[in-house]
Amino acid sequence: MVKAGFRQTMAWLHGWTGLVVGWLLFAIFLTGTISYYRFEISDWMLRPPVTAEIVDPATAAARVLDWLAVEAAGAPQWVVTLPGDREAWMRASWRKPAERRAQSVLIDPATGNRLVATDSRGGDFFYRFHFELWMQPIWGRWIVGAAAMIMLVAIISGVITHKKIFRDFFTFRPAKAARSWLDAHNALAVLALPYHVMITYTGLLTLMFLYLPAGSAGYRFDTNKMFADMSDIPTRPAATEAAALAPIGPMLAAVPWPVRRIDVQRPGRADSTVILYAAQTGMLSVNPGNAIFDATTGALLRAPLPSSVAGAIWGVSYGLHLGRFADGVMRFLFFVVGLAGSAMVATGLLLWTAKRAPGRGRWLAHRLNIAAIVGLPLAVGAFFWANRLLPADLTDRANWEIRLFFAAWALTLLIPRWRPALWLTAAAFAGLVVVDGMPGAFNLGLGLVALCFAGAAWKVRQ
């Protein structure tokens, strides 16, 4: 047997790793890219009737904590998210000991009342799907982790396989069958390579405590205890007698940064603590700082710590992956290169099919390509349509939106050709803009999506 060269071996590795997880990777990549607009999607789908009035954070925080004291008394922990640049509302979450699922509601900062929004998962659906695939979280996270690991292998083997990275840097030759798909695949990969490497590697890092549990072996794999030690939350002697929460305003004023999240542990008890988390404004790290207070006296228990090197690396990696530090323009750039990543996976799959002789394998790959590459966007359109069409009082409404998403996606397996799939997707998004009728940046975006798919459908005919 002739010994294959290193580059041929890498080409073989790249081709097969890409094919094995390609369809899944496309779904992970695209839903992750959509998640850059998670809050905007939630706003569009949930339509919470927020009072348009700017409230200072101390007043808003006091209102939501008052609400929780009435509605979530007895819960072991409250988590509050204050209004941000992209979210006009506050979020309050808690889990009562007897209840299996955590509760989460939206609170109006201007009134302190609960906002009755449309029952929908909104952008959170795509965010969750991106790393849990809407399965049992632990299974989804392992599958996504394996796919991300293979993605990293595909990126490295792809760079080695690509012989003329610099010579072909600006090369794209359209309408030349497989040659064009290869050019497009190379350009999408090379020109956004820093992003692809960053997003795949930091994606693995976000769940590194799951994928590399050896780090917590010293804690007998009790990661909760390890996290508690890492975050250096002072342990306090248990005191179960009732005690009221001290005013939150002075605590917010005692930290040097704007606060985004407030955790209250053991609310209503004498040993209760308040943890304030810094907003990510202008910072790459997902956790730029936190401070801990005695909830009953308001005394500072632990000042913000200077971050350790390892903690800073992890925080910045996680922050880069989520991109929440980004302003409007930078968010759009993240979105564009995220789409380029999705398109890189898609063109890789198309290239594989284009180079195969007709047969059963190619037929299957072709159908799966349509269902993945156009089927997923079409299912996203169906999800949005479900949001606008399902009656408001339907029981389990949020889950019906998701069922319709998966039903629409499954049906795209029946579409045999590209053109009808592309036209259908264009029509779905164009129809949304017409039906919704509200002018705004989000609907403009939906319109652009419709135009892109219509353009692609028109191109395919030629």
Partner 1 sequence: MIALGALLALAAWLALDRAMTARQHQLTLRILGAAALAAAFAVSVVAWGWRLGPVGWLGLLSATALARVFAKPYLR
Do 81 and 106 meet the contact criterion of CB atoms below 8 Å apart?
no
Cβ distance to partner 1 smaller for residue 111 or 281: 281
Termini Cα distance of the chain: 45
Cβ distance to partner 1 smaller for residue 320 or 424: 320
Cβ distance to partner 1 smaller for residue 343 or 371: 343
Token pair for residue 164?
Answer: 């003329």
| DSSP SS3 for 79 | strand
Q: Output the smallest distance, CB 130 to partner 1, in A.
A: 20
Three-state SS string over 273-320 comes to: EEEEEECCCCCCCCCCCEEEEECCCCCEEECCCCCCHHHHHHHHHHHH
Cβ distance to partner 1 smaller for residue 160 or 283: 283
Reference 428, options 370, 372, 369, 384; nearest CA is 384
Do 264 and 292 meet the contact criterion of CB atoms below 8 Å apart?
no
Q: Output the smallest distance, CB 24 to partner 1, in A.
A: 24
Q: Output the smallest distance, CB 183 to partner 1, in A.
A: 9
Residue type, 228: A
Cβ distance to partner 1 smaller for residue 69 or 326: 326
Q: Output the smallest distance, CB 340 to partner 1, in A.
A: 6
Q: Output the smallest distance, CB 197 to partner 1, in A.
A: 11
Q: Output the smallest distance, CB 344 to partner 1, in A.
A: 10
Do 81 and 72 meet the contact criterion of CB atoms below 8 Å apart?
no
Cβ distance to partner 1 smaller for residue 202 or 412: 202
| DSSP SS3 for 268 | coil
Residue 69: phi, psi to the nearest 5?
-60, -30
Cβ distance to partner 1 smaller for residue 169 or 227: 169
Do 80 and 61 meet the contact criterion of CB atoms below 8 Å apart?
yes
Residue 83: phi, psi to the nearest 5?
-60, 145
Cβ distance to partner 1 smaller for residue 197 or 233: 197
> 10 Å Cβ neighbour count for 11?
18
Q: Output the smallest distance, CB 326 to partner 1, in A.
A: 8
Residue type, 53: E
> 10 Å Cβ neighbour count for 393?
7
Do 366 and 358 meet the contact criterion of CB atoms below 8 Å apart?
no
Cβ distance to partner 1 smaller for residue 65 or 192: 192
Cβ distance to partner 1 smaller for residue 194 or 391: 194
Do 390 and 400 meet the contact criterion of CB atoms below 8 Å apart?
yes
Cβ distance to partner 1 smaller for residue 141 or 321: 321
Q: Output the smallest distance, CB 190 to partner 1, in A.
A: 9
Query: Which residues here bind partner 1, judged by CB under 8 A?
Result: 167, 169-174, 184, 187-188, 191-192, 194-195, 282-284, 320, 325-327, 329-330, 333-334, 336-337, 340
* Angle (CA) 453 203 188, round 5°: 40
| DSSP SS3 for 227 | helix
Q: Output the smallest distance, CB 174 to partner 1, in A.
A: 5
Do 430 and 447 meet the contact criterion of CB atoms below 8 Å apart?
yes
Q: Output the smallest distance, CB 375 to partner 1, in A.
A: 24
153: number of CA atoms within 13 Å, CB side? 21
Cβ distance to partner 1 smaller for residue 62 or 191: 191
- Provide the sign of the torsion angle of the four alpha carbons 443, 449, 455, 457, taken in this order: negative
Q: Output the smallest distance, CB 281 to partner 1, in A.
A: 10
Q: Output the smallest distance, CB 128 to partner 1, in A.
A: 25
CA dihedral 422, 425, 430, 433 (to 10 degrees): -160
